[in-house]
Amino acid sequence: MTLGEAEREAIRQQREMSTPTRRATVEALEAILFEPIEVLDHGFVRVVDYMGDDAAIVQAARVSYGKGTKSVSSDAGLINYLLRHRHTTPFEMCEIKLHVKLPIFVARQWIRHRTANVNEYSARYSILDREFYVPAADQVAPQSTSNRQGRGEPLDDAAAAAVRARMQASGAEAFDLYDALLAEDGPGLARELARGVLPLATYTQWYWKIDLHNLLHFTALRADPHAQYEIQAYGRVLLDIVEKWVPLTHRAFVEYRLEGASLSRTQLQVVRRLLRGEAVDFAASGLSQREWAELQQVLADRV
Amino acid sequence: MTLGEAEREAIRQQREMSTPTRRATVEALEAILFEPIEVLDHGFVRVVDYMGDDAAIVQAARVSYGKGTKSVSSDAGLINYLLRHRHTTPFEMCEIKLHVKLPIFVARQWIRHRTANVNEYSARYSILDREFYVPAADQVAPQSTSNRQGRGEPLDDAAAAAVRARMQASGAEAFDLYDALLAEDGPGLARELARGVLPLATYTQWYWKIDLHNLLHFTALRADPHAQYEIQAYGRVLLDIVEKWVPLTHRAFVEYRLEGASLSRTQLQVVRRLLRGEAVDFAASGLSQREWAELQQVLADRV
Amino acid sequence: MTLGEAEREAIRQQREMSTPTRRATVEALEAILFEPIEVLDHGFVRVVDYMGDDAAIVQAARVSYGKGTKSVSSDAGLINYLLRHRHTTPFEMCEIKLHVKLPIFVARQWIRHRTANVNEYSARYSILDREFYVPAADQVAPQSTSNRQGRGEPLDDAAAAAVRARMQASGAEAFDLYDALLAEDGPGLARELARGVLPLATYTQWYWKIDLHNLLHFTALRADPHAQYEIQAYGRVLLDIVEKWVPLTHRAFVEYRLEGASLSRTQLQVVRRLLRGEAVDFAASGLSQREWAELQQVLADRV
Amino acid sequence: MTLGEAEREAIRQQREMSTPTRRATVEALEAILFEPIEVLDHGFVRVVDYMGDDAAIVQAARVSYGKGTKSVSSDAGLINYLLRHRHTTPFEMCEIKLHVKLPIFVARQWIRHRTANVNEYSARYSILDREFYVPAADQVAPQSTSNRQGRGEPLDDAAAAAVRARMQASGAEAFDLYDALLAEDGPGLARELARGVLPLATYTQWYWKIDLHNLLHFTALRADPHAQYEIQAYGRVLLDIVEKWVPLTHRAFVEYRLEGASLSRTQLQVVRRLLRGEAVDFAASGLSQREWAELQQVLADRV
């Protein structure tokens, strides 16, 4: 992450401000407000603003005049209930605003979540910084042999270094051309055209605002091991922010969503037969191979 | 408006809280936070939470690290520009949460705005208060003769009083039946069924959260003289809240939207011909009668 | 259901039309197009238009130039995969448009699903028909004792008849007042005001358009036994329409969603312990009573 | 545009199908169904499916049992009224599905319109074709001197040719590296990683489905002269499709939106003063320079 001194100073100034408010306030989030949390080689996530806390969820669910319930334990119970039964609207009553710097190919996955507000840095209006993503050596991996859209084990050190060098050189050349096309003593090409030569690994940045329900959905999909590693890295940071912001909701989310599982009608039948003491193997299960494997994994012990 | 003592006490308690925050804070909104603003005979609007201010719009538009621009006047200039050119996304970066009590027939118009978050008081789960809307005497008006969906001048005092008395009696009877159906020493009917007998004028309440862009759109439609009077009453309160919250945006909104006008291709041609000194009457205008009348109104002097 | 002759004739005329099209066409849906399917005492659902079929889902998932895959079985496999892994966007590529007549209190639950398009009959512009919902005798039930928002077993015949008679009378009186208020030789009250006296059981109607993904989500929530009976009745009709429209998707939806189940982290641990042969009772389960009961139900045999 | 023979054959087969339907059918759209309409150097737009027509808008606005009104002229009148008064929901009752091939930097602008359904070709799952956008000579233009986010007059032929050659070479090199990274006898890098080196000018493709109201909004913004030329090219194609699909709506859209104008409160005051015969110059107008210039342009004669 490469913040200039002007950016650091702007952040310092914002962090120094303090105003009294009657609104719900979350200490753990105030502590990190405006601070960039590093992600990948040049990216970051900054919490810029937030609205609501665990109690605000309870308050909205009850359409009440005051704060939530009388005690933290009854708040927790109601939040568990709401999350378990997918009563999603109370979670929409909390909102968070982030400043995110991320590679464009990650931004393109990210933006597929439509229920959010976005202001992106404009490459028609401004010149992009010379920053592009090159995977760390332990992330330089071949196409997965078992999964059409994932990657396998990393290459060995020498091979990884070679790949990284080629990516680095290619990105540098693209930015050289970008600079040359924009140069005032050159063609002075329109920024909106010149950017076309930049790689998909180029970093962009945006302000992104989303409600808690949709943020949970986002992290469930994007912090998942099946997501591309690069967006997972952001997903995990978002999950940490959720934990600081609304700890009761975070705990319920882990219990009922992240570490829970959905079983199909046929998978449930297999479980019922197993519990009755039947020996059910793949052939007798009525499941596809993939569904069988998934069921085995769900039923395997986890510590 | 009829708040019980428990509700008043809950509001008092919330208003007494004060916590330091690094977030953008708006004094004029803090001053009214949690306080019910009366609307119609039993309704209210309470600001429960908010996120952002005028500077946050500028900050998002610039995807900047610190606060908005250096000065209020340059903030105002940028906000004018954004609103004039319908760059709507920076206005989505502010959010407000309201607690609203309103007649169900108003709620049904209100909910047609889909880009908002809602938690409504559940009449399956809870018993509704005996509160229903009866229009004030000066709002008891016959069907408009010129407008298929509006009302005309109010009835005279006696006629209005008669109408009001019948509405009052009818609502009271419906609530009597509701109570009787629910009575434990009666049928003890399920609340979700018993409510079917209550009038559309019955008050409901909800938490409603919306971003500033969509709130402006809502008020443009609902504070408009063509909207039904009852939702207009809420629309005007929302507009006052906007003025307190984001005064620069409010001013731009009045200038470019509320007191501006959209002219059609043919209406513009008429204006151009008039400015060239041509005498253009309805017959020569190429406009429908309604469009002609609208143009006359737009061009008429307003003080 | 009380369609007038003019309505029946309009429907007949629409059904007689036939035009050749290159678009995906579904015979089973063409067969019922425009025909009202009765729901409750005066309601209906009519399929007015549709876009896409099972193959269109496959086509969109593959971003392909032609139709789906080569065979129905590979289409089914892909649809199963998409639904199982919650790849929802291909299901958004099918769209359906319905004309629905329904009690206003049902409409108010229905409209909470925001991702749909709606045009409702305007009671500002038009006079409402004298039609309101009175539950059939076997639906007249007291508040549930175990569930804060449901109903229990129906009342006995005499008690149910008494409740129905009171609801009928109350609705009739409300409509009498409505007519009197609107009467031209009476106050001639504005329609937008007069409707306030009508009961929440009054029927309204709307055109409602939704994509298949959101329709499945709607039916999962609204055809569910926990939903209020009256909206369940509509939910089940929608599910039948889905089966006619996209049979492969319907089958996958039943397998992976409707008759599947989500287990929490702790519930999964209980299952694993049971499968290892441990005796786990409620006390040792770490579950709340409600979660324990839900798990018992999921694990119980179903035929 | 470079369709392979397999793609052409798939399109031919789809075009040969014909099935009778009771649904609204639009001949002018059937005529072009599935056919690619070329845009830029390798892009296209194909209409893949559609729902509704002008009459369907009327039908929805009236929540009617049969088709629209009795005559085309009364349909046109109602559509004009709806569009003029921004009654947007009836226009949401028509839906269209397109297959679009477009440069990624255009796709990134396009996707900012959230109220649409999208399935994009996956570069995690599949290898991207060697196709990237190079602007035609008459589009190779320097940064605008008057507009921070536009381009000026094209470069001279030699300079444009030089820029194009450099863009072509840079894209080719990036694709050479992409191929090398993917090569099975090379590192066999995961596709999701290798794509990072490809330029933003690379073509992608997606299925895109949107309702008519949102499509009109999209074209109003994107067929506008202030939009980047490359997305304008798509916007104009979409506008042509709208004209074929719903000619009455298209005409109203041109009259009330595309060739109409919004004037601010102060601009209207200037017009009123001019019409009273006052001489109003910039200094006396109360407008900013930009607003003054915009007003002059609106009031200037157009043929």
What is the rounded distance in angstroms from the CA atom of residue B160 to the CA atom of residue B142? Answer: 10
The whole-number pLDDT of residue A2 equals 72
- Tell me the one-letter amino acid at C31: A
Sign of the dihedral through C-alpha A136, A138, A143, A144: negative
What is the tens place of the pLDDT at every residue in C143-177? 998 888 889 999 999 999 999 999 999 999 999 99
Q: Which residues of B are catalytic?
A: 222
Structure tokens of A81?
């209930």
Helix (H) or strand (E) holding B199: none
**Mean pLDDT of all residues belonging to chain D:** 94
The whole-number pLDDT of residue D270 equals 96
What is the rounded distance in angstroms from the CA atom of residue B236 to the CA atom of residue C261? Answer: 47
**Mean pLDDT of all residues belonging to chain C:** 94
Structure tokens of D106?
């255009």
List the single best residue of A49, A57, A100 to mutate versus B (max B Cβ within 10 A): A49
What's CA A209's distance to the chain center, in Å?
13
Closest CA to C34 of B35, D91, D59: D59
Residues in CB range of A60: below 8 A, 6 or more apart: A89, A90, A93, B119, B207
**CA nearest B217 in D: which residue?**
D86
The answer, yes or no, to whether residue C47 has pLDDT greater than 70, is yes
Q: What is the mean pLDDT of residues B150-176?
A: 96
The whole-number pLDDT of residue D303 equals 44
CB atoms within 10 A of CB C86: 14
Chain C residues with CB-CB distance to D88 below 8 A: none
Q: What is the mean pLDDT of residues A222-247?
A: 96
Choose the closest CB to B22 out of A14, A97, A118: A14
Q: What is the ipTM of this complex?
A: 0.95
Asked if D72 and C18 touch (Cβ cutoff 8 Å), the reply is no
- The reply to whether residue D195 touches residue A200, judged by beta carbons under 8 angstroms, is yes
Q: Which of C84, C222, C251, C273 is catalytic?
A: C222
Structure tokens of B34?
């949690």
The answer, yes or no, to whether residue D302 has pLDDT greater than 70, is no
What is the tens place of the pLDDT at every residue in D238-262? 999 999 999 999 999 999 999 999 9
Choose the closest CB to D61 out of C64, C67, C119: C119
The whole-number pLDDT of residue B303 equals 44
Structure tokens of B230?
């009852």
- Tell me the one-letter amino acid at D155: L
Kindly indicate the confidence band of residue B49, based on its pLDDT and cuts at 50, 70 and 90.
very high
The whole-number pLDDT of residue B73 equals 75
CB atoms within 10 A of CB D54: 25
Give the 3-state DSSP-derived string for C116-176, with helices as H, strands as E and coil as C.
CEEEECCCCCCCCCCCECCCCHHHCCEECCCCCCCECCCCCHHHHHHHHHHHHHHHHHHHH
Residues in CB range of B243: below 8 A, 6 or more apart: B250
What is the rounded distance in angstroms from the CA atom of residue B151 to the CA atom of residue B160? Answer: 14
Bridge partners of residue C204, in order along the sequence: C102
CB atoms within 10 A of CB A18: 13
Structure tokens of A15?
């962090």
The answer, yes or no, to whether residue B1 has pLDDT greater than 70, is no
What is the rounded distance in angstroms from the CA atom of residue A197 to the CA atom of residue D173? Answer: 11
The whole-number pLDDT of residue C66 equals 75
The whole-number pLDDT of residue C303 equals 44
Q: Please give the sequence-ordered ranges of beta strands (E in DSSP) within chain C, or none if there are none.
A: 19-21, 37-39, 43-51, 95-103, 117-120, 203-211, 261-263
What is the tens place of the pLDDT at every residue in D206-222? 999 999 999 999 999 99
Query: Long-range CB contacts (< 8 A, 24+ apart) of B225-229?
Result: B226/B150, B227/B109, B228/B106, B228/B109, B228/B150, B228/C124, B228/C192, B229/B139, B229/B151
Kindly indicate the confidence band of residue A303, based on its pLDDT and cuts at 50, 70 and 90.
very low
Helix (H) or strand (E) holding B265: helix B265-275
Tell me the percentage of chain C whose pLDDT exceeds 70.
Answer: 97
- Interface contacts (A, B; CB < 8 Å): 144
- Tell me the one-letter amino acid at D244: K
Question: Could you give the C-alpha distances from D34 to A84, B99, D9, D97, in angstroms and in order?
Answer: 45, 50, 11, 10
Tell me the percentage of chain D whose pLDDT exceeds 70.
Answer: 97
Chains that touch B (3 or more CB pairs under 8 A): A, C, D
- Where do we find the tokens 């009294």? A20
- The reply to whether residue A272 touches residue C84, judged by beta carbons under 8 angstroms, is no
Structure tokens of C218?
């709607």
Q: What is the DSSP string of A88-114?
A: -GGGGG-EEEEEEEEEHHHHHHHTT--
What's the first-to-final CA gap in chain A, in angstroms?
36
Pure H helices in A130-264: 157-182, 191-194, 212-222, 229-245, 247-253
Structure tokens of A61?
């669910």
Chain C residues with CB-CB distance to D18 below 8 A: 20-22
- Tell me the one-letter amino acid at A40: L
Q: What is the DSSP letter of A43?
A: E
**Mean pLDDT of all residues belonging to chain A:** 94
Q: Domains in chain B, please, with CATH?
A: 5-133+201-258 (3.30.1360.170), 265-299 (no CATH)
Q: What is the mean pLDDT of residues A81-93?
A: 95
What is the rounded distance in angstroms from the CA atom of residue B246 to the CA atom of residue D95? Answer: 37
- Tell me the one-letter amino acid at C170: S
Q: What is the DSSP letter of A224?
A: S
What is the rounded distance in angstroms from the CA atom of residue A237 to the CA atom of residue C94? Answer: 35
The answer, yes or no, to whether residue A73 has pLDDT greater than 90, is no
The whole-number pLDDT of residue D66 equals 76
What is the tens place of the pLDDT at every residue in C108-125? 999 999 999 999 999 999
What is the rounded distance in angstroms from the CA atom of residue B109 to the CA atom of residue B103? Answer: 10
Chain C residues with CB-CB distance to B181 below 8 A: 163, 166
Helix, strand or coil for residue B102?
Answer: strand
What is the rounded distance in angstroms from the CA atom of residue D187 to the CA atom of residue A155? Answer: 8
How buried is D156 (Cβ within 10 angstroms: 0-12 exposed, 13-18 middle, 19+ buried)? Answer: exposed
- The reply to whether residue A260 touches residue C256, judged by beta carbons under 8 angstroms, is no
The answer, yes or no, to whether residue D237 has pLDDT greater than 60, is yes
Give the 3-state DSSP-derived string for chain D, with helices as H, strands as E and coil as C.
CCCCHHHHHHHHHHHHCCEEECCCCCHHHHHHCCCCEEECCCEEEEEEEEECCHHHHHHHHHCCCCCCCCCHHHHHHHHHHHHHCCCCHHHHHCEEEEEEEEEHHHHHHHCCCCCCEEEECCCCCCCCCCCECCCCHHHCCEECCCCCCCECCCCCHHHHHHHHHHHHHHHHHHHHHHHHHHCCCCCCECHHHHHHHCECCEEEEEEEEEEHHHHHHHHHHHCCCCCCHHHHHHHHHHHHHHHHHCHHHHHHHHHHHHCCEEECHHHHHHHHHHHCCCCCCHHHHCCCHHHHHHHHHHHCCCC
- The reply to whether residue C84 touches residue A254, judged by beta carbons under 8 angstroms, is no
What is the tens place of the pLDDT at every residue in B3-36? 889 999 999 999 999 999 999 999 999 999 999 9
What is the rounded distance in angstroms from the CA atom of residue C189 to the CA atom of residue C195? Answer: 10
Instruction: Give the number of residues written for chain B.
Output: 303
Kindly indicate the confidence band of residue A36, based on its pLDDT and cuts at 50, 70 and 90.
very high
Chain B residues with CB-CB distance to C188 below 8 A: 142-143
Catalytic, C84? Answer: no
Q: What is the mean pLDDT of residues B167-183?
A: 98
* Cβ-count burial B230-243 (b if 16+ within 10 Å, e if not): bbbbbbebbbebbe
Chains that touch A (3 or more CB pairs under 8 A): B, C, D
Sheet holding C95-103, edge to edge: C37-39, C43-51, C95-103, C203-211, C117-120
The whole-number pLDDT of residue D148 equals 81
Q: What is the DSSP letter of B257?
A: I
CB atoms within 10 A of CB A12: 11
Structure tokens of B296?
């006359």
Q: What is the DSSP letter of C45?
A: E
The whole-number pLDDT of residue B2 equals 73
Q: What is the mean pLDDT of residues D84-93?
A: 95
Q: Which of A222, A257, A265, A272 is catalytic?
A: A222
Residue A124 backbone dihedrals phi, psi, to 5 degrees: -85, -35
The whole-number pLDDT of residue A70 equals 67
List the single best residue of A121, A144, A192 to mutate versus D (max D Cβ within 10 A): A192
> Distance (Å) from the C-alpha of residue B113 to the closest C-alpha of chain D?
11
> Distance (Å) from the C-alpha of residue A40 to the closest C-alpha of chain C?
27
Structure tokens of D34?
């599935």
